[in-house]
Structure 1
Amino acid sequence: MAKVAPSLLSADFSRLGDEVRSVAAAGADLIHFDVMDGNFVPNITFGPMVLAAIRGATTLPFEAHLMIEDPVFFWKKFVDAGADAVGIHIENDIDHKGLICEIAAAGVLPYLVINPPTPIERLEPLLEFVPQVLVMTVNPGFGGQAFIPETLGKIERLAQLRRGRGLSFLIEVDGGINEKTAPAVRRAGADILVAGSYIFESDNYAARIESIR
């Protein structure tokens, strides 16, 4: 059974606090907070002030997925706002190991994110240093996109590397998750499923969350 992380990218922005409370009551395990700066991806979403404003709506963990050009500068602002986990893209031109260690030293869970076109080999040298890896199964920037089937192989490869190296990092998957795609993603090795439009476009959040576990 996988954990489910509703993505606020597809929530009603005019009532984010209520949306967080609703998915928490519906059985969500954590809250996924998509941070976009309009440069790293062609969209702009939330800043740390928004996270701070809704942090009190639930005791569930918040993970801040940083789709931004300068995660080195901004990560701590999201931690100060209440993030329990911070995701950084392998595609960023930064010292990933150094930033992973900084985030962990702050008492927050660091995780790596990989986009669909990026080869899994980019992650391999860092897998022993992270407790979690997020595989994007759509190209980042917008919610409601269709799942890219070719990304299943990337999830399977990560699961193989985890077993082969005796590691324990969690595999999270984000993009096009619904009742049709979730079973294959879980079989491939995913532990956490991020879902946005599939949950928030429904009248029954609890049923949608349960259907992809």
Structure 2
Amino acid sequence: EEEDGEGGAALTGKARHSQYVRPLEARNSYLIWKVFGRRLDGRTNETREDDMDFEGGPCPPPEAVTKGTVRPLSNEDRRTLVRWTDTGAAIQVMGHPPDPEAAGDSPFRDHLRPTLSIRPHPENSDGLPRRIVLGVFDLDSGIDPKSLAVRVAGPGGEALATDLAKIDNGRLEVPLPSGRETLELVVEVADRAGNRTTRQVIYRRRINR
């Protein structure tokens, strides 16, 4: 199996953040070896000549913990570092960029679309409802109150709602036009980071036979 050399050059095509951290591979990261106090890759220092050797003891050093200079790492502390490494070791240098929302593909950018629910669901609706109830929520950057659009589908579709000014704790009632056999709606909402969720629903009048 090919490994990174001492200089950190990725023979396997998996680059390191540094010589101490290999993203997605906690067992092969020197940082994780140090917090556990031993190699975790199933090898010894003598197994290969072109990889990094484990030297010294665990971090923080036991003598520093005994003196009270630093606190010991808990098992959860160690596991947190393992999870961070195995999930990609996401980092952001302070001031580059200062605004996480301007970070492009930064892992700190809000990439999640907002939640949007529409009730009643067409399959559970007894014909054409007089109104629909929208539920909207976004955990990270929050809902953009001016982003809501509820309109009748098709060219020149009638706008039924255009903002969230009347929203109550993530819930908004929207009256629907009456006197139609079929009503197709498009509902859109976005968060403050620009992520958008769109739903399309069709309600049909039921004919009693």
Same fold, judged at TM 0.5 (above): no
* TM-score normalised per structure 2: 0.21
Structure 1 or 2, whichever has the larger Rg, is 2
Q: Could you say which structure has the greater relative contact order, defined with CA pairs below 8 angstroms and 6 or more residues apart?
A: 1
Query: Which one has the bigger helix percentage?
Result: 1
